[in-house]
Amino acid sequence: MLENCELLGNQDTLSAIHQYDKSSRIEGNVDFIFSMLASVFENCRITIQQWQLKPKKDENNTVTAHRRTDPAMTTRFVFRNCLINGTDEYVALYRSKPQVHKNYLGRPWKEYSRTIFIGCVLESIIMPQGWMPWTGDFVLKTSVIWVPGLICRAE
């Protein structure tokens, strides 16, 4: 169990290993929470930061990259009562050119990826589609991102 920790990085900040994170702050930009194991994140602050100083084309950020290769596997990421937002600097950059900066809750790493967000607050920088395709529509028909009771904040 990790509690009240601060994990700061860029891509691949946290390789989750059957863990329970509570009241922690996890910051990154591309697939920054990733694994094929089961992990629960409760009351955490999940923060996106910029990864290009002067993006000339689309900058896509993904919070998670979950991986499952078998539909019988029971692994998944569960986020409960978390806040998903950007750093102050990133939110200012996003607002200056929202069409360039796209932020997704995750992208499926393999065919049966599962990521669940329960009672989380998703700030307006998060794309409503949830998943960002890995390559084309690879695995989108077998992967699930579930957001019951979604709370999205609009500007």
| Catalytic residue list | 12, 31
Burial 103-126, CB ≥16 within 10 A → b, else e: bbbbbbbbbbbbbbbeebbbbbbb
CB atoms within 10 A of CB 23: 15
| 103 contacts 125 by C-beta, under 8 angstroms | yes
